């Protein structure tokens, strides 16, 4: 296994969410002290949203300058603004509505009642990413060549489905095979709702750090296959690799098929 892949297991779902929250707060503080601003890509799913709730509860979150954190989403369900299915709404309820964010730095994917169709939602998010990337590139004295199409992501969070999907990239479907574009529309998600917008694997893998968070026995096979280096088309999670680091943050149940020599335990 590549040396920048790390697996850490936690005794329970609650400890995993609390520890991931503490880890993210610390990472944001470190990045802000180096660069002034920090960028995180959020995920839906039970662990991802519980992590956001834990951040809001933690006194340590007051140390972060939330007005200088850029928020993006790895995927979202293409549903109406008020739908409870929307990852953005869940993230807002859990954290974003409770901290002093700069609304201009919170980049939700479009809801279905705000654009004409899925294609427009995909195009809009790609433009928003490109604009942020260009602004960042213009402000970087050391930048050269052409502006990238996506900004720097310091931490990109991913939930994991029992079928090993990440974001809305599902096994064997077109999304996981899509290359050369930053964002993809999904029309046939096997997990409802069927219409989704997702970052592509190339975009996901442009992140400095990817943190895959998973809990529950139903994820054990997906975790095992993801770490065994299975094909990314069949096991999308196995294709996720951060530029600097890839963390698998697991509970005991989801880590059941990870060889014990690879596990670090946090309790
Ligand atoms: C979705 C979810 C999904 C989720 C995983 C893990 O859009 O359907 O966001 O991708 O992240 O299925 O979910 P749990 O953490 O709830 O198991």
- Which among 190, 102, 204, 195 has a CA at the least distance from the CA of 157? 204
Place of tokens 């993006």: 72
Rounded to whole angstroms, the Cα distance separating 45 from 87 reads: 8
Q: Tell whether ligand 1 has an atom less than 6 A from the beta carbon of residue 200.
A: no
Render pLDDT for 134-179 as a digit per residue (tens, 0 to 9): 999 998 888 888 889 999 999 999 999 999 999 999 999 999 999 9
With beta carbons less than 8 A apart as the criterion, state whether 102 and 134 touch. Answer: no
Beta bridge partners of 184: 198
Q: Is the CB of 161 inside a 6 Å radius of any atom of ligand 1? A: yes
**Cα 140 to averaged position of ligand 1 atoms, centre (Å):** 35
Pick left, alpha or beta for residue 10 (phi over 0 → left; psi -120 to 50 → alpha; otherwise beta): beta
Could you give phi then psi for residue 36, rounded to 5 degrees? 90, -45
Does any ligand 1 atom lie closer than 6 A to the CB of residue 162?
no
How far is ligand 1, taken at its centre, from the CA of residue 39, in Å?
Answer: 21
Q: How far is the CA of 168 from the centre of ligand 1 (A)?
A: 9
134: burial class by Cβ within 10 Å (0-12, 13-18, 19+)?
Answer: middle
**Lookup result for tokens 């329970």:** 12
Output the six-digit token pair for 7.
Answer: 């697996």
Ligand 1 pocket check: which of 161, 193, 250, 253 to mutate, most ligand atoms within 8 Å of Cβ? 161
Q: Give the CB-side neighbour count of residue 138, counting CA atoms within 13 A.
A: 6
Establish whether residue 175 lines the binding site of ligand 1, counting it when its CB lies within 6 angstroms of any ligand atom.
Answer: no
45 Cβ closer than 6 Å to some ligand 1 atom: yes
3 state DSSP class of 23: helix
Report how far residue 233's alpha carbon sits from residue 214's, in angstroms, rounded to the nearest whole number: 20
- Do the Cβ atoms of 66 and 100 come closer than 8 Å? yes
Domains and CATH numbers, the chain: 5-265 (3.40.50.1360)
Task: Tell which atom from ligand 1 comes closest to the C-alpha of 196.
Answer: 7
| Averaged pLDDT for residues 180-198 | 97
CA distances to 58, 73, 90, 245 from 22, in Å:
8, 20, 20, 17
Residue 151 CB less than 6 A away from ligand 1: no
| pLDDT for 265 | 65
3-state SS record for 136-184: HHHCCCCCCCCCCCCCCCCEEEEECCCCCCECCECCCCHHHHCCCCCEE
* Angle at which helices 13-35 and 46-57 cross, to 10°: 60
Answer yes or no: is pLDDT of 229 > 90.
no
Q: What is the pLDDT of residues 198-218, one digit of tens each?
A: 999 999 999 999 999 999 999
- CA 196 to centroid of ligand 1, rounded, Å: 13
Q: pLDDT of 20-49, one tens digit each?
A: 999 999 999 999 999 999 999 999 999 999
Which ligand 1 atom minimizes the distance to the CA of 167? Answer: 10
State CA 130 to chain mean position distance: 18
What confidence tens digit (pLDDT) does each residue in 233-259 have?
999 999 999 999 999 999 999 999 997
Query: In this structure, what token pair is assigned to residue 5?
Result: 């892949």
- Distance, in Å, from the CA atom of 104 to the CA atom of 106, rounded to the nearest integer, reads 6
């Amino acid at each position: 296994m590549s040396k920048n892949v790390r697996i850490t297991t936690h005794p329970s779902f609650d400890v995993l969410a609390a520890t991931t929250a503490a880890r993210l707060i610390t990472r944001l503080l470190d990045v802000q002290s180096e660069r002034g601003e920090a960028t995180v890509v959020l995920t839906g799913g039970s662990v991802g949203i519980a992590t956001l709730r834990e951040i809001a509860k933690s006194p340590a979150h007051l140390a972060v300058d939330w007005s200088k954190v850029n928020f993006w989403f790895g995927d979202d369900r293409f549903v109406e603004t008020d739908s409870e299915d929307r990852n953005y709404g869940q993230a807002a309820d859990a954290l974003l509505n409770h901290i002093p964010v700069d609304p201009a730095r919170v980049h939700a994917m479009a809801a279905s009642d705000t654009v004409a169709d899925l294609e427009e939602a995909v195009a809009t998010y790609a433009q928003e990413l490109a604009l942020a990337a260009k602004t960042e590139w213009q402000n970087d004295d050391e930048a050269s060549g052409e502006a990238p199409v996506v900004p720097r992501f310091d931490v990109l969070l991913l939930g994991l489905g029992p079928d090993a999907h990440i974001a809305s990239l599902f096994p064997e479907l077109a999304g996981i095979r899509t290359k050369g574009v930053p964002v993809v529309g999904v029309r046939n998600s096997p997990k409802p709702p069927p219409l989704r917008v997702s970052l592509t694997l190339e975009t996901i893998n442009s992140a400095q750090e990817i943190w895959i968070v998973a809990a529950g026995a139903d994820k054990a096979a997906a975790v095992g296959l993801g770490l065994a280096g299975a094909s990314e088309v069949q096991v999308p999670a196995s294709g996720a690799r951060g530029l600097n680091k890839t963390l698998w943050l697991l509970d005991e149940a989801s880590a059941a098929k990870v060889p014990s020599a690879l596990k670090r335990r946090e309790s």
